[in-house]
Amino acid sequence: MSELDVSLGYFLAVVAFGAVFRVLFRKWPCLSFASEFTTSFVLVACWLEVQTIIEIGEWAEGLGSEVTLTLRFVVLLTHGVICAGATGNPSLTLMNFLLLETPTLHTLLALAAQFLGAHLALIVAGYYWAMELNDMHIIKNLIFRECSTALRVSLVQGVYCECVCAFIFYLIYLSLRCRAALVRVPFFAAVLTLLSHAASGYTSAFLNPSLAYGLTFYCPGFTFTEYSVVYCLGPIIGKSNQKWFIIYKPLIKVYQ
């Protein structure tokens, strides 16, 4: 079995779990916040394997950057399709709360579910790598606690990078969120893939605190508080700038 075949099997298992979990919880609308747990778990679990392929596969297995870019896009596209109705992103959850679209209790429960899903994904991925099903996982298992941080600039530059990328994405998100899923989901996946690739030398533009928590908060180089400032404060500043909120919201209504 080739390196990517093992990863493909892992992706399919994670996605199948997420799909089954969401189908089961559709019977209880009052527990809709639980879908945020699954959404976050699927995204972080898959992205951890993508990150492994990026960090190790490109130099150990000779995989080109086009392969990793395609994997990022496919993961984000699949995530958007099977997790429709849930974001798995604390920043988007907070934005919906600020727009008065979700109540306080639901928002708090959704935030807790998102970080819990990210933490479980980290644990599951650790066990998966420990099985050492291919050469990439053998290497990954050896350096699991010595991973390279995604934050490769100073705190100020990191916050600025996340803020700018979040600003761009949320403008697009607000303008397209009421469009048909056939247009919206692939476009969002493409934008996030391009932003992540463009910012790979800075912060990787996760734009998602729970995703950043699962991928880089445990890596050496910065403290938990410093990571929180960059990956939580940056996206929040990018989405809550009142100036563009006030100016852009009437335009959204016009296009809708």
pLDDT in tens, 187-229: 999 999 999 989 988 999 999 999 999 999 988 889 999 999 9
pLDDT of 24 > 90? The answer is no
Per-residue pLDDT reduced to its tens digit, 50-76: 988 888 866 656 666 778 888 899 999
Mean pLDDT computed over every residue of the chain: 82
DSSP the chain: --HHHHHHHHHHHHHHHHHHHHHHHTT-GGGTTHHHHHHHHHHHHHHHHHHHIIIIIHHHS---HHHHHHHHHHHHHHHHHHTTT----HHHHHHHHHTT-S-HHHHHHHHHHHHHHHHHHHHHHHHHHHT--SHHHHHHHHSGGGPPPS--S-HHHHHHHHHHHHHHHHHHHHHHTTS-HHHHHHHHHHHHHHHHHHTTTTT-----HHHHHHHTTTSTTS-HHHHHIIIIIHHHHHHH-HHHHHHHHHHHHHH-
Is pTM beyond 0.85 here? yes
User: Average pLDDT, stretch 94-111?
Assistant: 82
Per-residue pLDDT reduced to its tens digit, 217-228: 988 889 999 999
pLDDT of 254 > 60? The answer is no
